[in-house]
Amino acid sequence: MGMPPTPARSSADVARAVTRAYERYGRKADEWRRTYEARGGRVYCGAGCAACCNMPIRVSLAEALVTAAALTPAQARGMAEHAAAVIANAQSAGGDDEYVHRHRTEVGFCPLLDRATGACTAYAARPTRCRDTFSAFPAVYCAVGTLETMTPRQLAQYHRDVARTPGTDGEWHFIAPLEHLSEPIWTAAARAMQDAWGVQVWGDYWVLTTLARDDAFMAAVEAGRPRDAWAVARRRRLAHPTVLELG
Ligand code: SF4
Ligand code: SF4
């Protein structure tokens, strides 16, 4: 039995609530994966595999605090530059599909990725989406361009192959239960933000990680003043409804 959750009162408590939820998820995911593999299932993810590291990532500010605290000044600069590219994409993309495609092809890989080795340089502080994305197919299926350039016949075959692969949702090749197991992390983050700040903040990973290192932004959030926080984000040119939700 776990301890009953103590309400978060500070930003440090909020970050702690997330890291505890990460640990619980890690244990449950490892256990699920062991059982899956013992039954013949295959998880293709592993060290150095990073074709998914150019996907857009949605986080809570609670998770962004954890990453933000782990960054070197050089990494933080890289995140801020990436956040600026994310905003430019949000301002000009014609819809969700274009936003995602351009994120992957033009905004590009996460600056925390070591392109030479495929390693995440902030592995212990990576957000939920980077922890719960697992593939039952080889990485080429995760890479941008693979599914998009299939013929209708190839795509139909892909969906048939997915449908007979245990662990998928029957439509896409990612492992659905390992994603569902992360739901308590989202819940813990939402509750901790609400308890500590009376405000929830969600949005893009690179934008929120950059804002989490901005004292004025965090002071406004901690005071429960979302409009003031939005004004700080605007001054930083990091306010756009696609990538920053305050409320
Ligand atoms: S999700 Fe795909 S690209 Fe990402 S680590 Fe797993 S196999 Fe590699
Ligand atoms: S935080 Fe790490 S795992 Fe996540 S996208 Fe960036 S490099 Fe990849």
β-strand partners of 80: none
Assigned domain for 184 exists: yes
Assigned domain for 187 exists: yes
On the question of pLDDT at 243 being above 60, the answer is yes
CA atoms within 13 Å, Cβ hemisphere of 22:
19
- Ligand 1 centroid–CA 114 distance in Å is 15
User: Other C-beta atoms within 10 Å of 6: how many?
Assistant: 11
pLDDT tens, position by position, 172-192: 999 999 999 999 999 999 999
Q: Among 67, 66, 71, which Cα is nearest to 17's?
A: 66
Assigned domain for 148 exists: yes
Of the pLDDT bands very low, low, confident and very high (cuts 50, 70, 90), residue 4 is low
Q: 136, 175 in Cβ contact below 8 A?
A: yes
Assigned domain for 4 exists: no
Shortest-distance atom of ligand 1 to CA 138: 7
Confidence (pLDDT) at 164: 97
Assigned domain for 65 exists: yes
Buried/exposed code over 95-106 (b: 16+ C-beta within 10 A; e: otherwise): eeeebeebbbee
- Ligand 1 centroid–CA 213 distance in Å is 29
On the question of pLDDT at 5 being above 80, the answer is no
Q: 165, 58 in Cβ contact below 8 A?
A: no
The pocket around ligand 2, CB under 6 angstroms, is made up of: 50, 53, 110, 112-113, 120, 122, 126, 130
Assigned domain for 5 exists: no
Tokens of 222: 């901690």
Of the pLDDT bands very low, low, confident and very high (cuts 50, 70, 90), residue 27 is very high
Shortest-distance atom of ligand 2 to CA 54: 5
State the DSSP H helix or E strand holding residue 246, giving kind and residue range, or none if neither.
strand 244-246
Assigned domain for 50 exists: yes
Nearest Cα residue to atom 8 of ligand 2: 53
Q: Among 82, 35, 40, 74, which Cα is nearest to 57's?
A: 82
Of the pLDDT bands very low, low, confident and very high (cuts 50, 70, 90), residue 232 is very high
Instruction: Mention every residue, 6+ apart, whose C-beta is less than 8 A from residue 156.
Output: none
Find the ligand nearest to 53 CA: 2
Pocket test for ligand 1, best of 52, 55, 147, 172 (most atoms within 8 A of CB): 52
Confidence (pLDDT) at 96: 95
Confidence (pLDDT) at 6: 83
Q: How many domains does the chain have?
A: 1
- Rounded CA-CA distance 165/181 in Å is 19
Pocket test for ligand 1, best of 43, 49, 54, 126 (most atoms within 8 A of CB): 49
Instruction: Mention every residue, 6+ apart, whose C-beta is less than 8 A from residue 97.
Output: none
- Ligand 2 centroid–CA 51 distance in Å is 10
Please count the residues of the chain: 247
User: Other C-beta atoms within 10 Å of 41: how many?
Assistant: 15
Nearest Cα residue to atom 1 of ligand 2: 126
Residue 202's SS3 state is strand
pTM of this structure: 0.96
Confidence (pLDDT) at 3: 60
Question: Which residue range forms the structural domain that includes residue 65?
Answer: 11-246
Q: 18, 62 in Cβ contact below 8 A?
A: yes
Residue 244's SS3 state is strand
Assigned domain for 151 exists: yes
Average pLDDT in the 54-59 region? 98
Residue 174's SS3 state is strand
On the question of pLDDT at 2 being above 90, the answer is no
For the chain, how far is it from start to end, CA to CA, in angstroms?
33
- Rounded CA-CA distance 177/180 in Å is 5
